[in-house]
A and B are shown apart, each in its own frame.
Chain A
Amino acid sequence: MSAIQRYLAPTTLEEALDALRESEATILAGGTDVMPQSQAGRLRLQPTLLNIRRIDELGGIALDGASIRIGALATISELLESELINERLPILAEAADHFASPQIRNAGTVGGNVCNASPAGDTLVPLIVLNAEVELASKRDGKVERRRMPLESFFAGPGRTHRAADELLTAIYVPAPAEGFVAHFAKFGTRPALDISAVSVGIGGVWRNGTFKNARVAFGAVAPTPVRGRATEGVLEGSALDAAAIGMAAAAARDEVRPISDVRASAWYRKEMIHSLTKKVLTNVADA
């Protein structure tokens, strides 16, 4: 017995924001989270189902000044295939390549992955490594307003974000990485496809003349939200990424995460896998 009373599929952002302001709505983009979660009873459908797929301005992946703008409706497949992403933000393509299955990648969107706010969301860790910002739009006092916030501080808990009920996530902005920036991502699941990460690791930084600088480390599925690995960053800053430094960073990563035990892995094993993945990712970074 569905709770949906009204279905809307606006073609402009303004119409969508009007609808969000006026009603309690479930926002539908790719549907790859909304459908299974509502069917399993984990997501309560609101009276209005707001399909945003027809709003052209929410799509696309393009350069925008000194940033790369990823529209909220860009699909995971688009990330994987985009030349701009593959050239400038290859860590995102790397994550997209490990994302669910081709069918889900074709439907699922980056905006959806971000707003679903799963601690295991596969695009979140690389986006945090890339210092991404989210853009949120709302219509207040008759005009469209936009604000930005760092993705890192967007998450409030599992499935919860700091998006207000009348706001729509419109795009993600990633500052164009500095010269010499290298980043890699790895996720650990028990099988090669269609698995939810038990843990994931993303590490980036400027790797030049044998020194690693501006290190950014993020972990997935070790806390209620994706988290920065600040202790690991501290160990890595200015390091030569030799075997000893990689070992120290991996140990720091294992020590700083506080995962839980669930059906996918025990807390102990998650820490061990953070250790293994950190070593693996750093080896990839050092080889670049």
Chain B
Amino acid sequence: MTTKTIEKNSLIGRRIPKMDAPDKASGKTRYIGDLNVSGQLYGKILRSGRIHARIVRIDTSKAKALPGVHAVITAADVPDQRPIGVNKDHMPLKGDKVRSQRDEIAAVAADSEEIAEEALKLIEVEYEDLPTIFDPRDALKPGAPLINDFKKDNVAMVFDYSHGDVAQGEAESDVVIEDSFELHYVTHCCMGVSGVIAEFDASGNLLLYSNTQVPFLHKREFAELLNIDPGRIRIIQPPIGGGFGSKLDIYPFEPIAIFLARATKRPVKLMFTREEEFLASPTRQPVILTLRSGVRKDGSLTFRTVDTLHDNGAYTSWGATTPFVMMQTFSSLYRVEHCLYKTTAVYTNNPYAGSFRGYGNLQATFAIEQHMDKLAEAIGMDPLEFRLKNAQEAGEVTGQGMHFKTCGFKDCITTAAERSDYQAKRRAYKAAQGAPGSVKRGVGIASMLHVGGGAKIYPSDGCGTILKLDDFAHVTVMTGASEIGQGSETVLAQLVCEELGVPLGSVTVVNNDTDITPWDVGVHASRTTFIAGNSAIGAARKARDKILNAAAKVSNLAAGDLDLRDGFIVRASDGQVIMPLAKMLRSLHFSDKAELVMTTHYYEPPSVHQDKGFKGDVSAAYAWATQVVEVEVDTDTGIVTLLKVWAAHDVGRVLNRLGIEGQIEGGIVMGQGYAITETLMIENGVCKNPNFRDYKLVTAPEIPEMDITFIETMDGEGPQGAKGVGEAPAICMAAAVANAIENATGTRIYKLPFTPENVYRALHPALAEAAE
């Protein structure tokens, strides 16, 4: 008899196609738009035509009379509605007044979308216009109109942070600079538009088919909103066509669909049009930011003072809370002894901002990394050496209390700089600024720090896993963590395979039903691989222990001498097969013991909540990255062409090489769009470009060549050493491009985006002035 042996075969670090890719690529995936439930009606929302106006009268009688219409509701029909949003300042249906273009006034449920749209046209609304605020600076002026009556100063939220004493820092400085930066509106542009299906059963239990990124938090929020027991709400997530943070909050369309379902006693499906997606989904937070920085002649940073004005829009969603992340960049990306940070978020009649990949960090990094170039220039130091001198290292605890247990920051800086030949190019391009010809080249560098091990914002930052093996060694992993296209289900399956020695095809991940999966705080803060990964590993290790303990008894070997490989139980020392895993499972199941292998695990990261001054080690790990970009600037047109990006990322460890490459490439392109092409044009509260013709997403020919390097710091707390990196790649781009434009032309631009007209205007200020 020959003895079969099996070598250890790890999937970690390999190039694994995403498990959902075949269905998505072949068009078989059923997104919410493809999903229809028996008996459903179609919901549509009437939005305000006005920007800020009192609602004098709404007449829905003609709409109600239209054949095929089952319900027309206004605020008057839902007297029990409660406000939503981070400040609870947002009624789903507006009864008293409208505060922005997107505001919901009435909604219809009908037999078809066409009938619902016809009915909307029959609703008569009479308004009385009110004075408006479009510039956030105007919101703070004495006598400014009030957007929300309960906030008499128009201030939606304030953040104050400090460590050290900036006055002392300023006194110790040899050079102090101050600049003002302006960051614009962009929006997520998820390929799948927003939508929901709401359905009550005969007992009054609510089932929501929802694209949310935070099903468990929403379960509780919907329960509060509807004043029902959270236990009666079930959320099922069909495959989600993009999230990027946009689905982190409840928006009015969701309660409205629920109200319509309640009114009609029928399931109601409500899908946005693309135009609505532009008008009524959240934006990235626009910011006006003043940064004052100091440095000594030896190149050490002394202080930073930051003052930001956030245009909150008419209501408060997560955009107002981006200072949580922004202040981390100012306090802790580089070592700085003194830091003072302040944000005021004010109400205006503009669109309101939500959470968006990077969460304020793109805005903060845009300012800080331009200042790093300027400070280096001011003291005559090479910008790369200047950064290395002030960069954080492993072991550091920052003024904000962040503890960097692993830190590949300096490796990121040197790797990106060396691979791009940054220093030589920078010198050559600077020297060529005055040379003839309209096309100039430049290189720019920027770095970032972002949470990479969750973020302890809610009472728990954990994730639960239930894991079971069937009689044939097929593994089902029920995880609270949602898949929103980021590839988490593939990574979770890989991590489970690593523990249980089964092939990837033997793992099913269930991650979309709150009645089945255990609690998770949601997809945000680049946390899923780290938190849900550790949770899945915990559950898998418990199953592994159970299996190996049982196998030890059969094989007369110690459990510690056994291993699971490729679907077999083997001797760890030489890989000799003891028995198939499936056989072991069946013998456990069908023996006197009658046992199934089922385990549970809840992982809570060892991070802490910040104190009232925003100090504390809020994440279990931190991710670092440096990106160098090379651009071409046509000074005759203002067109900025991105030629190449060199990205070096401290990712802890690569789990799925194909997945992480895709995530970094996608993030770079998203950052490129933010920097160069994308802008949601809001003029007097009205969106002027709610379509893909005039809202310029980056298209394939514009995507630059990319050189991506992974710095593997093997984080001790990370799953197999990994850190979260979902948001990281988008963060540096705008800052790096700004620095590259300066290197190419000698002109520094403090305002985004770098569209041709904006760049041309900045390059030819005399021409622009003469025209005005």
A positions within 8 Å CB-CB of B: 1, 188, 190-196, 263-266, 268-269, 272-273, 276, 279-280
Q: When chains A and B are docked, how far (Å) is the Cα of A197 from the Cα of B702?
A: 17
A1, B114: Cβ atoms closer than 8 Å: yes
A263, B771: Cβ atoms closer than 8 Å: no
B701, A196: Cβ atoms closer than 8 Å: no
A272, B760: Cβ atoms closer than 8 Å: yes
A269 with B693, Cβ < 8 A, contacts A191-B699, A276-B636 known: no
Chain B residues, CB < 8 A from A279: 636
Q: When chains A and B are docked, how far (Å) is the Cα of A46 from the Cα of B637?
A: 42
A266, B702: Cβ atoms closer than 8 Å: no
Chain B residues, CB < 8 A from A263: 681, 688-689, 694
Q: Provide 13 A-B residue pairs closer than 8 Å at the C-beta atoms, listed in order of the A residue.
A: A1-B114, A190-B639, A190-B756, A191-B677, A192-B702, A263-B688, A263-B689, A265-B757, A269-B756, A269-B757, A272-B764, A273-B637, A276-B636
Q: When chains A and B are docked, how far (Å) is the Cα of A280 from the Cα of B635?
A: 13
Chain B residues, CB < 8 A from A195: 696
Which of A193, A264, A273, A280 contacts B699 (CB under 8 A)?
Answer: A193
B702, A191: Cβ atoms closer than 8 Å: yes
**B66 close to chain A: CB less than 8 A:** no
B positions within 8 Å CB-CB of A: 114, 118, 636-637, 639, 677, 681, 688-689, 693-694, 696, 699, 701-702, 755-757, 760-761, 764, 767-768, 771
Extra 10 A-B pairs, beta carbons < 8 Å, given A265-B757, A269-B760: A188-B637, A190-B755, A190-B756, A191-B677, A191-B701, A192-B699, A263-B681, A263-B688, A266-B757, A269-B757
Which of B118, B688, B768 contacts A268 (CB under 8 A)?
Answer: B768
B114, A272: Cβ atoms closer than 8 Å: no
B752: shortest Cβ distance to chain A, in Å? 15
Residue of B nearest to A270 (CB): B757
B192: shortest Cβ distance to chain A, in Å? 20
Residue with the highest number of chain B CB atoms closer than 10 Å, among A188, A191, A276, A280: A191
Chain B residues, CB < 8 A from A266: 757
Residue of B nearest to A194 (CB): B699
Which of B114, B689, B701, B764 contacts A192 (CB under 8 A)?
Answer: B701
Chain A residues, CB < 8 A from B639: 190
Q: When chains A and B are docked, how far (Å) is the Cα of A194 from the Cα of B636?
A: 22
B636: shortest Cβ distance to chain A, in Å? 4
Chain B residues, CB < 8 A from A265: 757
Chain A residues, CB < 8 A from B755: 190
A269 with B761, Cβ < 8 A, contacts A190-B696, A190-B755, A263-B681 known: yes
Chain B residues, CB < 8 A from A191: 677, 696, 699, 701-702
Residue of B nearest to A36 (CB): B693
B694, A264: Cβ atoms closer than 8 Å: yes
Chain A residues, CB < 8 A from B694: 263-264
Q: When chains A and B are docked, how far (Å) is the Cα of A268 from the Cα of B765?
A: 13
A171: shortest Cβ distance to chain B, in Å? 30
Chain B residues, CB < 8 A from A273: 637
Chain B residues, CB < 8 A from A190: 639, 677, 696, 755-756
Residue of A nearest to B681 (CB): A263
Q: When chains A and B are docked, how far (Å) is the Cα of A272 from the Cα of B757?
A: 10
A193, B757: Cβ atoms closer than 8 Å: no
Chain B residues, CB < 8 A from A196: 693
B128: shortest Cβ distance to chain A, in Å? 29
Q: When chains A and B are docked, how far (Å) is the Cα of A227 from the Cα of B434?
A: 37
Q: When chains A and B are docked, how far (Å) is the Cα of A1 from the Cα of B764?
A: 51
B55: shortest Cβ distance to chain A, in Å? 26
Chain B residues, CB < 8 A from A194: 699
Chain A residues, CB < 8 A from B760: 269, 272
Q: When chains A and B are docked, how far (Å) is the Cα of A279 from the Cα of B768?
A: 19
Chain B residues, CB < 8 A from A192: 699, 701-702
B89: shortest Cβ distance to chain A, in Å? 31
